[in-house]
Structure 1
Amino acid sequence: MSVPARPFDSFVIFSVMRSGSNLLERYLAQYDGLACLGELFNPVFIGRKGQTVLFDVSCDTARHNPAALLDAIAAAQPDTVNGLRYFPEHVPEAMQVLLEDPRCAKIILTRDPLSAFVSLSIAQFSDIWLIGSEKDRLPLSVPLSLGAFEVYKAQHKHYFAQIEAGLAATGQAALRIDYTDLGDMTRINDLAMALGAKAPRKTLEASIKRQNPAPLHAKISNYAEVYAALGLPAPETLPEAEPLSQNESQVKWVWPRHYYVCDHRPLAFAPLIENTKQPLTAWLSLVPSELRTGLKLGDVQNWAARNKAAHVISVLHHPLDRLYAAFMNKIFSTAPDAFQKIRSILETRYQIYLPRNAQQIDRETYTVEDQRTAFHQFLLFVAANLAGETDIRQDCSWQTQAALADIFAQIMPITHFLRVEQLDHDIPELERALDIPPIWAGLKTFRHRPFAFDLAEIYTDQTEALARAAFGEDYTRFGFENWRPGYAAFDVSLPSSA
């Protein structure tokens, strides 16, 4: 007796972030005959975060030759229908390969755009993307930017239109499912059997939980301002809700996770800037004391109660160094972790001229003067953004250190602000004060790859004036003088044995 041919050899879930694709993938992986491999064409990893090689195919190869990765998977796992998730942010060349393959089933997973946008905003704000237990749920609300939401809708409308056009051109049909169907066992069974699962299931294990089950009006902190524009129910017609203010959300739920505390020493670290975490945590991990992070509010409060005279340290960068690093890493850069959408908006609205490829700069076509002008325009944007005059989020990358310190102060105040250029002096002094062995001196100093343009090349009196206009509170509160080369003398430290 011949075995009936399976309907498909592979499948792709076309969706957007926060639409339930992770849950759907975990459901489908429980069916005999199906395999789910995650975000195969994410620009910075293959399948799962931190994984850069799969079946001997590297992330770089997958970006330039998507078919090579798909062929390697098929060869390694020929007896299963292998699936992946694809988002708008993924490698664009892969979409065409997937759409043109009739043996690849196309699942289109949709969700109400507003609900998905709010969920994405909460995840970006909290940096919590998955929870596996009800006790890990954090009740959050965020402000909704109408302008950002309109951009979001337009981008995703274009994304799904591309998919529909590809299907129409090749005469293929999609398997369609909505976020609201993910709790329907019959719908999931039907989908799995259509893909080629060997048998339906009676139950499915939900290894992740819905993060934000509250009603929409409880998750939008400025609901009263936006309901009319979006055609939502008027606030007075809705049941009573107690949405958390943005400030309450930060203080009670998000910010305690950022502390690093030593369990057997009166020493804690509150990082204001991302690139200062690595040297300080490298040092703290070697201090003879258990180091903990990712704490809840009660954990921090209990630690503070046990350590009344604790040293809670943080590290300050000169405001101009902070702003330039934000500009170069998040706006000038074209790397996957840069803010490509905000970059595009700034190019359009602020007429910022930036090179198409930040990795290969031709100084004849993109000059030092171009770079100076672009950075000055970015400083004007930051001043307007922090004053609430734009519809772009106030990202932590360019928020003032004073504002971030104020948030920490509502939980457990920072007692020692160290200057980045003085760490080699201040940390050894702290070691002596707390009877810590001389660890810092044994750390090895590394530097990141230099920026395409050094700040010293473009710095002028106008640069300083614009930085003071944007970050005046940092200059005043922390007593910063005008910028000069050498402020950011320390970059990254790791153990010398590394």
Structure 2
Amino acid sequence: MTEKFDWFVVFAEMRTGSNFLETNLNALGGVACHGEAFNPHFIGYPNRTEILGVSRALRDIDPARLLNAVKAQPGVLGGFRYFHDHDPRVLDAILNDPRCAKIVLTRNPLDSYVSWKIAKATNQWKLTDVKRRKEARAEFDAEEFAAHVAALQAFQVTLLNRLQTSGQTAFYVAYEDLQDLAVMNGLAAWLGVEGRLEALDQSLKVQNPEPVLAKVANPEEMERALSGLDRFNLTRTPNFEPRRGAGVPSFVAGAKTPLLYLPIRGGPEEEVLRWLAALDGVNEADLPTRMNQKQLRQWKRANPDHRSFTVLRHPAARAHAVFCRRILGAGPGSFARLRELLRTQFKLPLPADGIGPDYTSERHREAFEGFLGFVKASLAGQTALRLDAAWSTQAQSLTSFADFMVPDQVLREDELATLLPELARRRGHPGPPAIDMAAPDQPHALGDIYDPGLEALVADTYQRDYVMFGFGPWPG
């Protein structure tokens, strides 16, 4: 232990040089690294049966026992190597403890993949004598490599996010840094141990020093596959929306039929709620809602055959409905203060004294286009005004739901007449009613102003939803 840390973890992966790093760490006085302590296939090393008196069987039953043994070593800073596929039960304990030093070792994923393929082919995972080196060339597999990269990237993002949100920092080491004595001694200083290395360990040898193209049996196929990778995420739709809670109190259950509706704001909420009430012959006010998470879990246990659903609305219809009700409207649920800000600050041609005969469809079209411009800026985090759920992306709503539960079915508004009654029949309802479809918006219907130019504006504003859900032009 040191004044800074009680224990340490090396986050690494196969064929990243973690054996070499461990060897040099163990050469420092007062440091003890115990290999892959939580590898599900062995404990520490393939030929070991226990670590610090904890057997593999005991570790598997109670992983905290081994963690505590590593931390409790008297006069020694203990640690181990942890890969993305090691026992996930200990990851929270590692990441939540600021007294645990985090060392992150990385390597070019193509190099680590090719090295792994060669090691598998030769069954030679370490090299201490160059004369015993076995040679083989890797067979590049595009799908296998893509999965390899995805797994490594996902784990690195998890590490980075957890360290950021907990206010911790890690010591990052690249594969190439392992041959730099100054970096290794810098790591020792960061750990807070007094020992320093006079030279790097020479027992382990680089197994495959050739260029990567020379180590692959099918380099042409590899080059074709790599050329198709979007290395810089050129096709990614940026997302600056803030994360939201799951919104459990907004969920609505059937009074008798075990259905649970997860509303997306701006969608056909009123129509679905009327249908849910009519389904069991009750008033809308009698539908179970405003449940907290505990109450919803109790409802789900009481209705083990329940099904949950949400409804997507075409972004053009959704944005226009929100604009008409929330911005133009003056009734319950309208945003009077926001309307005034949009009129004065964003210069939307909105009527100051209510809708009158001079509010033509042309003026309505101009105001709606201005609203779409505001929404686009709001989604990009470019305004000081709040991003309301009514115009956030539907993709973000589904992501928020998933923090608590994932809906069984994601329906689309134009499918409700067929799929919603069928869903009720499958839950035992003998004769579900038809659903009333949404009436045209007021004071002007979307169809009065819609054209390809307006569709292009909506698609540009809600690009994330169009990509995620495959929306095409508004069907009318």
Normalising TM by the smaller chain, what interval?
0.3 to 0.5
| Greater gyration radius | 2
TM-score (norm 1): 0.44
TM-score (norm 2): 0.46
